[in-house]
A and B are shown apart, each in its own frame.
Chain A
């Protein structure tokens, strides 16, 4: 439920604050009964660094279409004059003081490394 509220929130704020961002996740015009085209699913795959098989693409398409349809359902609500919600809990200003409380965490951190070299994570060469 929280996730869906966040999605709703995005469209509210995108409308309100950033003219460059259109109010759906793919940046395309939306209407009820969404169709996601091959190009869009390909692009979303690139952004997510996923290589999908044809079958997976079709499945993801169907999922995303359902999500967008649901957003349309939410959009049917009249939110005129309602302040955008900035968080689901009515809590503000939770802070910590600027005091060092953690020691050397390298062993614990590196315990999760699929590959490690000395005290560092080793990953395929990435520049840019």
Chain B
């Protein structure tokens, strides 16, 4: 076995595909390129790019914004982890969007009807959401393994079907009620025994005072991230998952059932997707209404790509996207349509994947050169490895 290289040396040397410099450098480079493109775009629209970005940063760092950004990032993070689980196995679960909305609606209806003592109501609601999300995703998984339907298309269709079902169920005749004085339709309010309090109290006890309400379920996102990391890196299941994604043939040969892995992965992804709506439902809105946050599943795909499906990378990406969304309103003041944020996000994804690909090619070329160089000098790699 070779001697263990200290981490800081590994960074400097940029060892192979696991080189930290490239791992962190590639996304940073991609973000810089995207920032450049955005600046040009702002310039074209007639705004001053530097002061616009400055205004976004100023607004984004006020305490009120920080709380909102963290809340948004919690939703994005859970959504991105749900997507990343699929990505790890080369499955693209575009259906996270439908899964979390359907799960949130049904869980909200359940929570509104429940009146259980404190921890049980919350736990039951969360479990119900995960079950609904998992089952809805399972449809796509089962269709893929039994009928060979691409999960990309089936989940897109399931999203539209979920939208229709939600419209059908969110009706005063069924699961919802009219809110007097507005056009809003919502499920019955979750009773106070079934809610999750804000995190502000716990934080002020350790000396951090924040305005507004920080999601009480924010720690759940952190736990999900840690569990995801441990499961993927340190368990048999995680290993099977990665192998099935990278080399289906090798996985099959070593006794991993590809079909089983696909269904299990989709169900897990859907169950995590079920969690996405929970911080908002139990910690802020207490009901599923027409105003419930929508489209989080698509943001999750982008965030997962940017974060390279790594729990920490996703966390950074989630905060970045939350920051962009939160601060887009400021741009209105300098006469720039806030939709420019959508352009930024698209540019980020495209730049990121292209830069990753270029870096990958660069690494392969460098390794080939290194191997060729060693061989040319007559240096026996295998023996040298043993000798060390």
Instruction: Decide if A and B are genuine partners.
Output: no
Which B residues form the contact surface with A (CB < 8 A)? none
Which A residues form the contact surface with B (CB < 8 A)? none
